[in-house]
Amino acid sequence: MNASELAAVIAKSLSAAGSNVLFGIPGGGNNLEVIGAAEAAGIQFVLAHTENAAAYMACVYAELTRIPTGCVITRGPGAASATNGVAQAFLDRQPLLMLTDAVSSTDAARISHQRLDQHAVFSGISKWSGVLGKSEPADVMDQAIAIAAGPRPGPVHLDFDPGADHQMQPPAPVAPYGDIRAARAVLATARLPVVLVGIGARDHASAVRKLLAGTNVPVLQTYKAKGVVPDSWPNAAGILTGATVEAPVLEAADVILAIGLDTVELIPNQWPYSAPVVALNSWPEDSPYFEPQVTVVGPLDELLAGLSPPLPDEWDPGFAQEQRAATAIALLSGPKPTQGLAPWDVVARTRALAPAGSIATVDAGAHMLAAMPLWDTEEPGEVLISSGLATMGFALPAAIAAAIARPDKRTYCFVGDGGLGMVLAELETVVRLDLPITIVVFNDSALSLIQIKQKTEGHGGSNAISYRLSDFAAIARAYGLDATNISSIDELEAAVQDNLDHPRPILLDIQLDASGYPYVMDVIRGQRAKGV
């Protein structure tokens, strides 16, 4: 089978799976054949500036569409550059297909130029690393797509090698285990149950809502699960992070029901709560973060249906929303900025003006601690963050993917100066594709989250966390993007509203007062979370 025929198999398999966008960067090898075959099959190719950013885009597009999405890159340096994006898909449970060119197996003995053991590179951060070659490639593609989308979704890596005739061993499928009757028995002892909703519940919002509708049972949702239960519901008690912001709710519980909870999302604190835990998920938990009294693994919709009759509920009406409101009030009551804007005000005023259903992408950094509790969501996918990997440089590529996947929505990209600096060239991608994105840059010329953790002695002082002030508005204009510098709430509100009245891609360079970040850290993570 030649490269052109093999590329056609890839395109046909992706199209049959419902995938209509391919991300990546071509090199000098067979990936140009893949791009050409994809476009011939009606699949849009999106050119990025780095392999890492292309992988983030494919991850997020897959997360929003729930369809395994391809990223095509070259061998050697391209493959090495993409590893953080593949790790993102691995720890954030996103069905990515990473397609890499490779030194042909027929030539490998004589060619060392750009030759890496790409299976060794990707095997630790993917569900399966295989070869797409002359041995039944259509079956290999179908298998790769099924593995990527299967329980605990994640990345699959395939080397493009037309001459290869060997395969790696695919992983065994997840086997259901546990007894839903045991879960019902523990829940029947409850008076004040609390429900934790995690990333595994994202595809099962209807079943979760059916279980909880009409009750006062408080629900805490991880970052990736926000929107499974709408924030407008009386059950919505706020976010679950593994820190102290959720402690009043969990300390009041007599039984904790964890639905789709994957502890990869929780920061590495101790689990201090004494209430027994019942865990239901589509895949097994591989971390002893806490020890559930009952664990049941299987099709989550069926497990939730098996919990009837309804959960016990002796909660006071309004308790959950009071807890959630208390977090917002605490954040918005932070110290007044002396110069520039407070991070919580930036998020709150943007959220107040943004249309219902708008999407927020949030980069790693101190600003995320304000953004995640204050960005209200009604449906899954209305806020996107790197949670399991928690990598910087995620929000802008994520916003590009979100705007392609949901072009009828406005996307707001919340990113710090450090994170934006890592993916600055993707501003050109926003302009080239004319995407409905508002980029909000929290510009304080520092790694502010690291600064909070920095000790006075022995940690490098300002040299370790400070940058020279950059004018990101000027940089954005050089890429052809509308941009403005913002130094007051009035300017922020005017710019956001003008952008809604006259839709276009735009960057808002926020002069930020970062002095309130330690306060935000204390509200969300508290004393128990110092150092994480």
| pLDDT in single tens digits along all 532 residues of the chain | 789 999 999 999 999 999 999 999 998 778 899 999 999 999 999 999 999 999 999 999 999 999 999 999 999 999 999 999 999 999 999 999 999 998 776 666 667 676 678 899 999 999 999 999 988 899 999 999 999 999 999 999 999 988 888 777 888 888 999 999 999 999 999 999 999 999 999 999 999 999 999 999 999 999 999 999 999 999 999 999 999 999 999 999 999 999 999 999 999 888 999 999 999 999 999 888 999 999 999 999 999 999 988 899 999 999 999 999 999 999 999 999 988 999 999 999 999 999 999 999 999 999 999 999 999 999 999 999 999 999 999 999 999 999 999 999 999 999 999 999 999 999 999 999 999 999 999 998 755 555 666 554 555 566 665 666 789 999 999 999 999 999 999 999 999 999 999 999 999 999 999 889 889 989 998 843 333 4
295 φ, ψ (degrees, to nearest 5): -125, 130
DSSP letters spanning 327-338: HHHHHHTSPPPS
Give the start-end residues of each E strand in 133-289: 156-160, 193-197, 219-221, 236-239, 255-259, 277-281
Determine whether 456 is exposed, middle or buried from the number of CB atoms within 10 Å of its CB (0-12, 13-18, 19+).
exposed
Q: Which fold, 3-160? A: Rossmann fold (3.40.50)
DSSP letters spanning 363-406: -SSTHHHHHHHHS--SSTTSEEE--SS--TT-HHHHHHHHHHH-
Instruction: Fill in the DSSP letter of residue 201.
Output: G
Integer Cα distance of 25 and 86 in angstroms:
15
Q: Which fold, 180-321? A: Rossmann fold (3.40.50)
Task: Show Cβ contacts of residue 459 under 8 Å, excluding neighbours closer than 6 positions.
Answer: none
Which residue shows structure tokens 């953004």? 371
Does an H or E element contain 470, and which? none
Say yes or no: do domains 3-160 and 180-321 share a fold: yes
Determine whether 284 is exposed, middle or buried from the number of CB atoms within 10 Å of its CB (0-12, 13-18, 19+).
middle
Cis check for the bond before 309: say yes or no (omega within 30 of 0).
yes
Helix, strand or coil for residue 236?
strand
Integer Cα distance of 470 and 483 in angstroms:
14
Integer Cα distance of 358 and 368 in angstroms:
17
Count of CA atoms in the C-beta half-sphere (13 A) of 50 = 20
Integer Cα distance of 153 and 375 in angstroms:
26
Two structure tokens written together for 360: 């927020």
Integer Cα distance of 73 and 114 in angstroms:
13
Global pTM?
0.94
Task: Show Cβ contacts of residue 440 under 8 Å, excluding neighbours closer than 6 positions.
Answer: 346, 350, 412, 413, 414, 415, 508, 510
Superfamily (CATH H level) for 334-529: Thiamin diphosphate (ThDP)-binding fold, Pyr/PP domains (3.40.50.970)
Break the chain into its structural domains and give their ranges: 3-160, 180-321, 334-529
Question: Which residue in 468, 471, 364, 343 sits closest to 415, CA to CA?
Answer: 364
CA-derived radius of gyration, the chain: 23
**Number of residues that this document lists for the chain:** 532
Q: Which amino acid is at 260?
A: G
Question: Residues 381, 402, 324, CA angle at the centre, nearest 5°?
Answer: 30
